[in-house]
Amino acid sequence: MTDVMTDMIGTDAGGGPVDARLRADGVTLGYDGRVIAEELSVDIPTGSFTVIVGPNACGKSTLLRALARVMKPSAGTVLLDGADIASYPAKAAARLLGLLPQTSIAPEGITVADLVARGRHPHQGLFRQWTSADERAVAEALVATSTADLAARPVEELSGGQRQRVWVAMVLAQETPLLLLDEPTTFLDIAHQYELLELLRRLHAAGDRTLVAVLHDLNQAARYADHLVVMSDGRVVTTGEPGDVLTAELVEQVFGLPCTIIPDPHTGSPLVVPRPRG
Instruction: Name the pLDDT band for 17 (thresholds 50, 70, 90).
Output: low
**pLDDT at position 3:** 37
Q: Note the pTM of the prediction, 2 decimals.
A: 0.89
What pLDDT digit, counting tens, does each position of 82-133 carry? Answer: 999 999 999 999 999 999 998 888 999 999 999 999 999 999 877 678 899 9
Span 157-167, average pLDDT:
93
Instruction: Name the pLDDT band for 8 (thresholds 50, 70, 90).
Output: very low
**pLDDT at position 130:** 87
Q: 132-144 vs 190-206: helix axis angle to the nearest 10?
A: 130
Span 8-37, average pLDDT:
77
What per-residue string of b and e applies to 37-49 under the rule 16 or more CB within 10 Å gives b?
bbebebbbbebbb
What pLDDT digit, counting tens, does each position of 187-235 carry? Answer: 889 999 999 999 999 999 998 899 999 999 999 999 999 999 999 999 9
* Mean of pLDDT over the chain: 91
